[in-house]
Amino acid sequence: MGRRWGFLIGLLGAVCLLRSGHGGQQPPETAAQRCFCQVSGYLDDCTCDVETIDKFNNYRLFPRLQKLLESDYFRYYKVNLKRPCPFWNDISQCGRRDCAVRPCQSDEVPDGIKSASYKYSEEANNLIEECEQAERLGAVDESLSEETQKAVLQWTKHDDSSDNFCEADDIQSPDAEYVDLLLNPERYTGYKGPDAWKIWNVIYEENCFKPQTIKRPLNPLASSQGKSEENTFYSWLEGLCVEKRAFYRLISGLHASINVHLSARYLLQDTWLEKIWGHNITEFQQRFDGILTEGEGPRRLKNLYFLYLIELRALSKVVPFFERPDFQLFTGNKVQDEENKMLLLEILHEIKSFPLHFDENSFFAGDKKEANKLKEEFRLHFRNISRIMDCVGCFKCRLWGKLQTQGLGTALKILFSEKLIANMPESGPSYEFHLTRQEIVSLFNAFGRISTSVKELENFRNLLQNIH
């Protein structure tokens, strides 16, 4: 079996050489080709190619998205990092300085955001206040307008979360705090080894629709079990329906993105005087080089592109929600809020114009009963993953892990709510579909992370080209 795998890797290498225009006597692959040669052309399960995504992301989207994410509305994220792990007790907090998260002092967060954590428009504010009042009364208050009563019922239903893909973080808890995402960037923290592997293992092993008998090619801890498991895993994955395969690829894409970030913002120098963060090419190669990872690295980078396409598609679908005149990016600063809404809509229209969107019609295209069953399975698996984030032993990793799972969960919620969004009234309250401020902030920041990863791949490609 090992020899067969070796043969396959060899074959991949040969295909690589052919694709990059080197056959027969040609020089060996460059370091850049070893990471990227298979990450080109069409992506599996969709009709989009990597080069089109790179151009679109790096030059049209990325700069504007960064600007938007620096605004007050998007930089403050409320999160409860103190929730206990629901699965095991022995979480060792890694205790590293670079894992610490500095929460905001209360005067740092704009009042508009603090007083309106769920609120995004004046009209919605009023309605929600009425709803909250109704909830305090413990029942739908007969004196409320018929419209409000309907909203209370709808939103209670919504918050009961039949539609939510993530475990709602209890942001009303006294333990929840605002965090300035710009001051707590995702980067290398030093969180690694058995504690980190345990989290990734649980995520893959428990949640990827995987029969107990099949093992994923796990991690260094399981290396003694050899390649046969790897082959079984991939042939099993190939045999899966497109939706379940997609689920694995989304998680793997998220994992790859996190690992691209930590390689791009690595702690290069740490003295008492200063810390220098930057690209660590060796770290990147160890994770993504086709030969060093026996073909796995490029596959993971492709999954990152797949995740990008899924989030991009969700953003293109949710445009009508943000276009409604009563929607505001409310922080209390009217001029800035209006400018930011304009920028947000510009970005969304750019996204809508992307020519090769992922065609999710192939998803859940079967009969309705089957589609609903799959949606429910997706939702439950995903909620479980969001709970696992409370077991991550490094607060900085936990923060970004939570934000990105919530963002991806919101993207899935949007994709599964396509009809509700399309039928939304152009103005006035929308009972069927709404997004909380938390969901909006996590959706855009999560996409911002993947967009940054795609941009970083270009940086690494350039760096690797210089080290033949």
Give the residues across from 76 on adjacent strands.
180
* Count of CB atoms situated within 10 Å of the CB of 40: 17
Q: Is 272 annotated as a binding residue?
A: no
* Interaction between residue 384 and ligand FAD (CB under 6 A): no
Q: Residue for token digits 């963002």? A: 407
* Count of CB atoms situated within 10 Å of the CB of 380: 11
Min separation Cβ 17 and ligand FAD, Å: 25
One-letter amino acid identity for 448?
G
CA distances from 336 to 73, 99, 332 (A): 10, 33, 9
Distance between first and last Cα of the chain:
32
Q: Which residues are catalytic?
A: 394, 397
Size of the site for ligand FAD (CB under 6 A): 25
Min separation Cβ 249 and ligand FAD, Å: 9
Q: Is 252 annotated as a binding residue?
A: yes
SS3 267: strand
Min separation Cβ 91 and ligand FAD, Å: 12
Looking at 73-81, 186-194, 270-278, 362-370, which segment touches ligand FAD (CB under 6 A)? 186-194
Looking at 147-155, 164-172, 258-266, 440-448, which segment touches ligand FAD (CB under 6 A)? 258-266
Contact 58, 458 (CB under 8 A): yes
Comparison of 200 and 236: residue with beta carbon closer to ligand FAD: 200
SS3 309: helix
Q: Is 255 annotated as a binding residue?
A: yes
* Interaction between residue 131 and ligand FAD (CB under 6 A): no
Q: Is 357 annotated as a binding residue?
A: no
Q: Is 187 annotated as a binding residue?
A: yes
Looking at 33-41, 140-148, 239-247, 257-265, which segment touches ligand FAD (CB under 6 A)? 257-265
Min separation Cβ 415 and ligand FAD, Å: 22
Among 83, 245, 255, 383, binds ligand FAD (CB under 6 A): 255
Comparison of 144 and 310: residue with beta carbon closer to ligand FAD: 310
Provide the CB-side half-sphere exposure for 270 (13 A, CA). 7
Comparison of 140 and 237: residue with beta carbon closer to ligand FAD: 237
CA distances from 196 to 250, 331, 408 (A): 19, 37, 21
SS3 458: helix
Q: Where are the beta strands (DSSP E) in 113-265?
A: 177-180
Looking at 109-117, 194-202, 361-369, 439-447, which segment touches ligand FAD (CB under 6 A)? 194-202
Min separation Cβ 196 and ligand FAD, Å: 3
Provide the CB-side half-sphere exposure for 451 (13 A, CA). 25
* Interaction between residue 392 and ligand FAD (CB under 6 A): yes
- Give the annotated binding-site residues for FAD: 187, 189, 200, 252, 255, 287
